[in-house]
Amino acid sequence: MREINASIPFDKRMWRQDLAGSQAHVAMLGKQGIIPAEDAARISAGLDDVAAQFEADGVPDDLALEDIHMLAEARLADGIGPSAGRLHTARSRNDQVATDFRLWVRDAIDQAEAALGALQDALLTRAEEHADSVMPGFTHLQVAQPVTLGHHLMAYFEMFARDRSRLRDARARMNLCPLGSAALAGTGFNLDREATAAALGFDGPTRNSLDSVSDRDFAIEYLTCAAQTALHLSRLAEEFVIWASQPFGFVSLSDQWSTGSSIMPQKRNPDAAELVRGHSGRITGALVSLMITMKGLPLAYSKDMQDDKPPVFEAHDLLGLSIAAMTGMVESASFRLDRMRAAAETGFSTATDLADWLVREAGVPFREAHHITGRTVAAAEAAGIRLDQLDIAQLKAIDDRIDARVYDVLSVDASVSSRTSFGGTAPARVRESVAAARRAREEEGR
């Protein structure tokens, strides 16, 4: 029973949050006259000593004391004696752990958002560097239309911007303080819950004591954000895995972010990217784990909820590692621009540009232009050349409405330069996008 009941091996990670909550609580108790002011002062000083002990020596796994709350109070009693017992006046471990966990998740959100911001900065730097670098754009992993590498990287910038937005939304929603809800019904003591909420950086107290001690929506929402972020990280990781393969050869990963083979000395394996890809499954599993734990629990607190923290802690650790790894890979990758350009020039990737030209310059209905372009692709394929290598006579033989101006759109450079619609791949648009993103990042830092 001691082993299954104890949570100290994992909830000791919340010791800073637990002591912060206790400091806010005891300050309120003293100010409200619920406990003598001298005891409040003695407890506060004692909590500082406990914090110093944990900082220096770590938190022991004392199963007899069950959890971080009991361990901290026991250490406090060791230091200041019986007056430590006044600390738990007007609170329960139920509202205590709900408060600690919110504080911890709030810190985790801040850390994830900051790390994603650093990844976005790395993407911005590389996108600006490669605003003109041509590569193939894919659909179904088939060459579709030429784009720029800068445009491709900025797509991930946008994904991570949404991830950060979701994290900020989750943080705002969770930022209410359960402390003072006690076990489940509130308390008869004259608490100042607004004061403890403010002291801990919350926007205010929670409004229903039953919900306060049983709510884990904030943890589920954090895991939802983490899972969505992990999916985006996994997609970027998969790009690096594919691009680093010999058939593609679009990128060379640094030794720092790749490994060798135990028997094949020529190998450079994208292990970091593959692990990021794998971590997405574990993070999504953490979300499912907590949702299943919570799905059938009646109000208010049940011991099942002790299992809320391990999946959150695991997801936090894996997410931090994944973001750091992808940031390092983006920063250090050597892109093989010659291979990217060569791939963009295969598969007749400017065929759509020909169809658009026929619509725009020759007044041909798009569906007819589509058929003309199909015949043009077939002619180039039969000749074993690119579309822009067909001479004007060959083009006119397919449709007399084609003239020499068509060569302005048939090369991959002309194609990307023509995609000037807002959000398009034209180098000028990519630079505008990077500049706007940099301004937004600067505003965030102010």
Catalytic positions are 140, 261
Please state the three-class secondary structure of the chain as a single string: CHHHHCCHHHHHHHHHHHHHHHHHHHHHHHHCCCCCHHHHHHHHHHHHHHHHHHHHHCCCCCHHHCCHHHHHHHHHHHHHHHHHHHHHCCCCHHHHHHHHHHHHHHHHHHHHHHHHHHHHHHHHHHHHHCCCCEEEEEECCEEEEEEEHHHHHHHHHHHHHHHHHHHHHHHHHHCCECCCCCCCCCCCCCCCHHHHHHHCCCCCECCCHHHHHHCCHHHHHHHHHHHHHHHHHHHHHHHHHHHHCCCCCCEECCHHHCECCCCCCCCCECHHHHHHHHHHHHHHHHHHHHHHHHCCCCCCCCHHHHHHHHHHHHHHHHHHHHHHHHHHHHHHCEECHHHHHHHHCCCCCCHHHHHHHHHHHHCCCHHHHHHHHHHHHHHHHHHCCCHHHCCHHHHHHHCCCCCHHHHHHHCHHHHHHHCCCCCCCCHHHHHHHHHHHHHHHHHHCC
